[in-house]
């Protein structure tokens, strides 16, 4: 069984309705975490720390990595593998040291940082593909195949060819709605719900969860649901992500 739990569905900053981006994927044998916004603190009560944990980072904007500051809070019993986004390994290593936070080599557990460029040289208990997306800084999308189920994680990007490739036929596409539907035209670095729905439809994703709702634009759940309704006209199966929501694959 694969259980996906949304721990943070906001972009940019936390609000009373959401923490910044973090998605948890639990299986019988390992744990995957996608991005480390402040939602990551919630794994403390959920995750079985005896299992190996793989933490994938899409990019280094702080709403996706600020939760790395609380790695001290967890008691990983196996080495923690952090997958650095494309073109970002050295910057991530710098962030994981003083004066920003505890040195990643000084935790009571081992932390291994793996560059997204080098995924093929490492053994994972699942298949993984990484492709660059379109954002204002280097940004990486991931496609994971776990027990023949495909999860695509496509955040902080304009609609682009690589987004479609990663999401092709996915059992679950987790993507973003940084912008409101009123923002139209060629948007750079994010999508609105209509563009996200177009991506889901073009890729033939079986289920689509929308997250990364900009903290400013989406200040209430009502604003989220109104916006998501515009996307559902194109992709009727698209679901508004909320913190705490679970999907079983």
Residues of span 179-218 touching Zn ion by CB under 5 A: none
Q: Which is nearer to Zn ion, 11 or 193 (CB)?
A: 11
Q: Which is nearer to Zn ion, 63 or 134 (CB)?
A: 63
Whole-angstrom distance, CA of residue 154 vs CA of residue 58: 8
**Least Cβ distance, residue 61 to Zn ion (angstroms):** 4
The conformation of residue 233, written as its DSSP 8-state character, comes to: T
Contact call for residue 176 and Zn ion (CB under 5 A):
no
> For helices 221-232 and 193-203, what crossing angle results, to 10°?
40
Q: Which is nearer to Zn ion, 61 or 224 (CB)?
A: 61
Which helix (H) or strand (E) is 92 found in, with range?
helix 89-95
Question: Which of 61, 69, 224, 232 touches Zn ion by CB under 5 A?
Answer: 61
Q: Residue 220: CB partners within 8 Å, gap ≥ 6?
A: 17
* Antiparallel, parallel or unpaired: β 3-8 and 172-176: unpaired
- Residue range at the interface with Zn ion (CB under 5 A); choices 8-16, 42-50, 143-151, 199-207: 8-16
- Residue range at the interface with Zn ion (CB under 5 A); choices 6-14, 25-33, 73-81, 103-111: 6-14
Whole-angstrom distance, CA of residue 66 vs CA of residue 25: 19
Residue with the shortest CB distance to Zn ion: 61
**Least Cβ distance, residue 214 to Zn ion (angstroms):** 8
Question: Which of 35, 63, 134, 243 touches Zn ion by CB under 5 A?
Answer: 63
CA neighbor of 131 nearest in space, from 152, 149, 148: 152
> Binding marks (x or -) toward Zn ion, 12..41, rule CB under 5 A?
------------------------------
Q: Residue 18: CB partners within 8 Å, gap ≥ 6?
A: 8, 9, 10, 39, 213, 215, 242, 243
Q: Which is nearer to Zn ion, 2 or 209 (CB)?
A: 209
**Least Cβ distance, residue 133 to Zn ion (angstroms):** 10
Question: Which of 2, 6, 7, 11 touches Zn ion by CB under 5 A?
Answer: 11
Whole-angstrom distance, CA of residue 175 vs CA of residue 159: 11
Binding residues for Zn ion, per CB under 5 A?
11, 61, 63, 156
């Amino acid at each position: 069984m694969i259980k996906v739990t949304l721990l943070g569905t906001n972009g940019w900053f936390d609000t009373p309705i959401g923490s910044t981006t973090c998605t948890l994927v639990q299986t019988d044998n390992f744990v995957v975490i996608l991005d480390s916004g402040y939602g990551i603190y919630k794994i403390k009560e959920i995750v079985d720390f005896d299992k190996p944990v793989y933490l994938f980072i899409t990019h280094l904007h702080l709403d996706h990595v600020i939760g790395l500051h609380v790695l001290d809070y967890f008691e990983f019993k196996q080495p923690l593998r952090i997958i650095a986004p494309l073109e970002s390994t050295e910057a991530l290593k710098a962030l994981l040291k003083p004066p920003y936070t505890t040195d990643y080599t000084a935790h009571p557990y081992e932390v291994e940082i793996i560059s997204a460029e080098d995924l093929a040289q490492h053994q994972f208990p699942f298949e993984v593909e990484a492709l660059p997306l379109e954002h204002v800084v280097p940004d990486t999308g991931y496609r994971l195949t776990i027990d023949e189920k495909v999860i695509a994680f496509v955040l902080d990007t304009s609609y682009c060819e690589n987004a479609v490739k990663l999401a092709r036929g996915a059992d679950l596409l987790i993507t973003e709605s940084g912008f409101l539907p009123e923002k139209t035209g060629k948007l750079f670095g994010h999508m609105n719900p209509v563009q996200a729905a177009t991506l889901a439809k073009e890729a033939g994703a079986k289920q689509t969860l929308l997250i990364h709702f900009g903290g400013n634009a989406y200040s209430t759940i009502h604003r989220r649901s109104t916006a998501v309704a515009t996307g559902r006209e194109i992709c009727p199966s698209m679901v508004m992500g909320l913190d705490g929501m679970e999907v079983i694959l």
